[in-house]
Amino acid sequence: MTYPKLVAAAMTATALAFGCASQRDEPPAPSRTAGEFTGDAALTAKVKSAIASDSGIGNAANINVNTYRGVVQLNGFVDSQDKIQRAADAARRVEGVRNVENNLRVRPSS
């Protein structure tokens, strides 16, 4: 076997080994339809707006909102436990939100 063919064979074997291993370890995530993707994007925008509209929460820019099939995930840092609860409550009030996963944390004192 010539050197280029040997290298190509080794690269193919490596790619197959890693590709198969990742498929065995993790099942693929179910994909969303175009409608679900668009609906989740709209829901994310509505939740961000609801959080920003709540004057008691403060700077909503520190809150990251992700939505997958109607489940809203909140991530980031706020100034108090009360603001964590207010953000979750604001998200829950948005029509179409099925569940809220609240991963917000109180910002550590510096």
**pLDDT > 60? residue 92:** yes
Q: Give Dmax (Cα) for the chain.
A: 71
Average pLDDT of the chain? 82
**Do 60 and 74 belong to one domain?**
yes
Containing domain of residue 9, as a range? Answer: 1-30
Confidence of residue 5 (pLDDT cuts 50, 70, 90): low
| Tokens standing for residue 63 | 């809150």
Domains in the chain: how many in total?
A: 2
**Do 41 and 76 belong to one domain?**
yes
**Do 101 and 83 belong to one domain?**
yes
3-state helix, strand, coil in the chain (%, to 5): 55, 20, 25
**Do 53 and 17 belong to one domain?**
no
**Do 90 and 47 belong to one domain?**
yes
8-58 pLDDT, tens digit per residue, is 555 555 454 445 444 556 676 678 788 887 889 999 999 999 999 988 888
